Amino acid sequence: MKKTWQTVVPILLVIFLSCCYGLISAKQLAPYRVGVLYWSMNIPGQVAMRTGLEAKAEQINRVAAASGTRTVELIWRIAGDGEAGIINQIGQMNELIDLKVDLLIVQPTDNVALSEGLQRANRENIPVVAYDQYISSGKLTAYRTSHNYQAGWLDGEYIASLFSKERKMRLILVDYPHVSSTVERLNGFLDALSKAEIDYQILQTYQAVEPVSGKLAAERILKDFPQPDSFDVVFTVNDGGGLAIAEALFKAGRTEVLHATIDGDPKSIENIREGKITVIDSAQFCGPLGEEAMQTGYNILLGKKVPYHAQLPVFPITRETLSQYPGWTGPIPLVIEKSWESLGDNWSGNLIVVKE
């Protein structure tokens, strides 16, 4: 009997220790749970950002699985458009915090609306990466965006190069003041016109950021300015609303109007190629922006130091630069050749670190 126990006990001990080790290993290798809050799936640029983010997550998982390190599991929610989308995202952020995710990656629908959610995530010690726009109160772990001010500036540079300084430029603006990205774009556009010493007058301002509001804005513009040559330029802060406006003006025969916009939607690029009223579209590199947000979040989970705020450059698509543009998914070129005078720094394809 004594010999039996002497034989059995070591075996049981080995089994017990193996089970404990297996439980520890399983816990160590459990995927990081990453909550992702998307804004809209009706704005093609944002869809491309999502595609880039999720492609990067798949790449991270392939590398992690091969090396025996932790993978990521994405738990995503889509807010939707308009005021309803803003309200939805508040609840979605709280839901993911309740799930005690390891990390939140957020594309905010509104700069202010998620402030309480961000503060709650701070209290729960959940790191938060915002991309495309920031959250105005609370502490973000990192913030990634396109260089939105540059996008507006490049639009303004090009429009200024096409316009005579001898007469006042009559402007219509289509903005969206709820998020930082669109505010920065408008500021960049107007600052570039001022830098070029263009005398401009803002005739009217409308709001649109997606197709429904874009169509409504287009109807109002044509109602408010029915006569040809009643305004010179329309600037739209994105293609989500801008495409509907460009289409409506073109169909109405308003080919005297110059349209400047931002995002790089393929339909807008086609309008430039075909010589319709859109003359410049400063394109985001939407796929690389999503990739950068995901990689930044994973680096944070691994305990690596990341810059707090970094920006991706945008590409000014005109008929002259069209052949140099690689598309939403990149790769981002190192340099471009512009056919108009630069009013600021030379363009560079490198990631711009704004704040460490």
Whether the predicted pLDDT of 20 surpasses 60: no
The pLDDT confidence band at residue 345, using thresholds 50, 70 and 90, is confident
Q: Which of 55, 188, 150, 184 is nearest to 352 (CA)?
A: 150
The pLDDT confidence band at residue 106, using thresholds 50, 70 and 90, is very high
pLDDT at residue 56 in the model: 98
pLDDT at residue 28 in the model: 60
CA 211 to chain centre: 17
Residue 264 CA: distances (Å) to CA of 53, 270, 271, 283, 305: 18, 10, 11, 4, 32
Please state the rounded mean pLDDT for residues 183-206: 97
Positive or negative CA dihedral for 291, 297, 303, 307?
A: positive
Whether the predicted pLDDT of 17 surpasses 70: no
- CATH number belonging to domain 148-283+314-346: 3.40.50.2300
Whether the predicted pLDDT of 36 surpasses 90: yes
Q: Cα-flanking dihedrals φ and ψ of residue 327, to 5°?
A: 105, 170
Whether the predicted pLDDT of 27 surpasses 90: no
The pLDDT confidence band at residue 260, using thresholds 50, 70 and 90, is very high
**Distance (Å, whole) CA 193 – CA 197:** 6
Percent with pLDDT over 70 in the chain: 92
Eight-state DSSP code of residue 64? H
Whether the predicted pLDDT of 10 surpasses 80: no
Q: State pLDDT tens for residues 59-93.
A: 999 999 999 999 999 999 999 998 999 999 999 99
Other C-beta atoms within 10 Å of 354: how many? 12
Q: Cα-flanking dihedrals φ and ψ of residue 12, to 5°?
A: -65, -40
The pLDDT confidence band at residue 22, using thresholds 50, 70 and 90, is very low
The pLDDT confidence band at residue 21, using thresholds 50, 70 and 90, is very low
As assigned by CATH, the class of the 28-147+287-312 domain is: alpha beta
Other C-beta atoms within 10 Å of 159: how many? 26
The mean predicted confidence, pLDDT, of the chain is: 92
pLDDT at residue 7 in the model: 54
Q: State pLDDT tens for residues 210-220.
A: 999 999 999 99
E strand or H helix that includes residue 207: strand 200-207
pLDDT at residue 278 in the model: 98
Q: Which residues contact 244 (CB under 8 A, 6 or more apart)?
A: 208, 211, 214, 215, 217, 218
Whether the predicted pLDDT of 19 surpasses 70: no
pLDDT at residue 43 in the model: 84
**Distance (Å, whole) CA 184 – CA 95:** 30
**Distance (Å, whole) CA 310 – CA 320:** 29
Q: In what order do the strands lie in the sheet with 309-312?
A: 72-78, 32-38, 103-106, 128-131, 142-146, 309-312, 352-355
The pLDDT confidence band at residue 318, using thresholds 50, 70 and 90, is very high
Q: State pLDDT tens for residues 122-150.
A: 999 999 999 998 898 899 999 999 999 99
**Distance (Å, whole) CA 184 – CA 153:** 9
Eight-state DSSP code of residue 111? T
Given this chain, do its domains 28-147+287-312 and 148-283+314-346 carry the same CATH topology? yes
The pLDDT confidence band at residue 180, using thresholds 50, 70 and 90, is confident
Whether the predicted pLDDT of 315 surpasses 70: yes
Domain parsing of the chain, residue ranges: 28-147+287-312, 148-283+314-346
